[in-house]
Amino acid sequence: MNRTPTILVAGFGTMTGAIVEGWLRAGLDPASVTACGPSPKPVPPGMRFVTGVPEGEFDYLLLGMKPQKLAEAAPGLEPVAGPETVVLSVLAGIELSTLARLFPRAAGAVRVMPNLAAALGKSPVALLAQGLDERRREEVTELAAALGTAEWLADESQFELVTALAGSGPGFLYRFIDALAAGATRLGLDAGQAQRLAVQMVEGAAALAAQSSYSPAELARRVASPGGMTQKGLDVLDADEALVRLLTETLRAARDRGREMAGAAREEG
Ligand SMILES: NC(=O)C1=CN([C@@H]2O[C@H](COP(=O)(O)OP(=O)(O)OC[C@H]3O[C@@H](n4cnc5c(N)ncnc54)[C@H](OP(=O)(O)O)[C@@H]3O)[C@@H](O)[C@H]2O)C=CC1
Ligand SMILES: O=C(O)[C@@H]1CCC=N1
C-alpha cells in the first residue's frame, strides 16, 4: 500500500474484530485504526476506542453494527464521512443506494462481504462499489486482499446470494461439521474424539481442495474406491440430489432474508 489510510470502525463486534485482526496480522499500523460504538470494547494494543463518535474525518468509515442499527447510527456518523471518506459496509442486506442516501458527502461506498476467517487472512471478500476513483478502488482491493481473496462483483443483483455463500457459509459448514460429529457419536464414537476428527478432516480436505488442480467433484471421485466404503456414503448424499437440494434451500432462505432486509432499509429512506 502506498500510504497508511486512517480507518474508523463504527461498531467493533465479531465481524469487524475479525477484520481488524486480519489487517493487523497483515502489518497495518494499529495507530491508524480507531473504533467507536455505544459502549467500551477491548481493542488490540496500539488501537484507539472512542465511546460515541470521534471528531475529524477518516479515509475509511467501516460500518460494523447490525443492519437494523444503521438508521439510528448513521446521523451521528455522517460528520466523519466527508468528501475524502470512503464508506465500507459489511452489513448484510444494506444496498449501495442506502449507503449513498445516509452518507451523501462521502467519496464513495463499498459493500464488503467477508467472513470470520478474515482474522486468519483466509476469507473470500466480495466487493461492490459506487463512486470510487481508480486509486481508491486499488486501495480497497489491497485492504480486502489482506483478509483473503478479493472478489469484485459486477452488479448488486447477486450480492445477497454471495453473502449467503461467502458470509453465512461458515455457519452452514460448522453445522455440517457438527452433524458429522453427531452422526459418528450416535454410531458409537466418543463425542470429543468425533469432533476432533471432524474438524481436522475438514481443515485438511478444504486446504487440499484450495490448492488442488482437481475440482471438488473429481476429488470426491478420487476418495471413493469403486465398490468401496466412500461410494456407499456418497450414494446416501446423492440420492434424489438430497444434499444439493438441502443446500439450495439453505442458500435460498439466507438470500431471501437478505433481500427482505434490503427492502426494509430502502423503505426507511
Ligand atoms: N458475524 C459474521 O460472521 C458476519 C457479520 N456480518 C455483518 O457484520 C455486522 C455485525 O455483525 P456481528 O459482528 O456479528 O455483530 P456484533 O453484535 O458482534 O457487533 C455489532 C457491534 O455494533 C455495535 N453497535 C451497536 N449499536 C451501534 C451504534 N448505534 N453505532 C455503532 N456501533 C453500534 C455493538 O456494540 P454494543 O455491543 O455496545 O451494542 C457491537 O460492538 C452485521 O451487519 C452483519 O450483517 C457480515 C459478514 C459475516
Ligand atoms: O447472519 C447474518 O445476517 C450475517 C450475514 C453474513 C453472516 N452473518
- Residues 2 and 24: their CA atoms lie apart, in Å, by 17
Instruction: Tell me what pLDDT residue 151 has.
Output: 98
- Residues 253 and 249: their CA atoms lie apart, in Å, by 6
Instruction: Tell me what pLDDT residue 192 has.
Output: 98
| Helix (H) / strand (E) containing 110 | strand 108-113
> Which atom in ligand 1 lies closest to the alpha carbon of residue 17?
13
Backbone angles phi, psi at 58, to 5 degrees: -130, 155
Instruction: Tell me what pLDDT residue 3 has.
Output: 86
- The list of the chain residues with pLDDT below 50 reads none
> Which atom in ligand 2 lies closest to the alpha carbon of residue 257?
3
228 Cα to the center of ligand 2, angstroms:
39
Q: Which residues contact 6 (CB under 8 A, 6 or more apart)?
A: 32, 33, 34, 58, 59, 60
The cell numbers describing 213, all together, are 488442480
Task: With CA atoms as reference, report the closest residue to 170 among 114, 219, 210, 239.
Answer: 114
| Helix (H) / strand (E) containing 1 | none
- Residues 244 and 136: their CA atoms lie apart, in Å, by 39
Backbone angles phi, psi at 40, to 5 degrees: -60, 145
Instruction: Tell me what pLDDT residue 190 has.
Output: 98
Q: Is the minimum distance from the CB of 163 to ligand 2 under 6 angstroms?
A: yes
- Residues 155 and 20: their CA atoms lie apart, in Å, by 27
- Residues 69 and 52: their CA atoms lie apart, in Å, by 14
Q: Is the minimum distance from the CB of 92 to ligand 2 under 6 angstroms?
A: yes
Task: Note the Cα 79 to chain centre separation in Å.
Answer: 27
DSSP-assigned beta bridge partners for residue 7: 33, 60
> Which atom in ligand 2 lies closest to the alpha carbon of residue 164?
6
- The residue whose CB lies within 8 Å of the most ligand 2 atoms, and thus the one to mutate among 14, 65, 125, 163, is 163
Q: Is the minimum distance from the CB of 85 to ligand 2 under 6 angstroms?
A: no
Contact status, residue 191 vs residue 185, Cβ threshold 8 Å:
yes
The cell numbers describing 97, all together, are 443506494
Closest residue by CA, ligand 2 atom 8 = 168
189 Cα to the center of ligand 2, angstroms:
33
Q: Is the minimum distance from the CB of 67 to ligand 2 under 6 angstroms?
A: no
| Helix (H) / strand (E) containing 46 | none
- Of the listed ligands, the closest to the CA of 254 is 2
Q: Strands 48-51 and 60-63, how do they pair?
A: unpaired
Instruction: Tell me what pLDDT residue 265 has.
Output: 93
Q: Which domains does the chain have, with CATH numbers?
A: 7-160 (3.40.50.720), 169-258 (1.10.3730.10)
Backbone angles phi, psi at 143, to 5 degrees: -60, -40
- Encode pLDDT of 106-133 as tens digits: 999 999 999 999 999 999 999 999 999 9
> Which atom in ligand 2 lies closest to the alpha carbon of residue 163?
6
94 Cα to the center of ligand 2, angstroms:
12
> Which atom in ligand 2 lies closest to the alpha carbon of residue 113?
6
Sort residue 27 into left (φ over 0), alpha (ψ -120 to 50) or beta. Answer: left
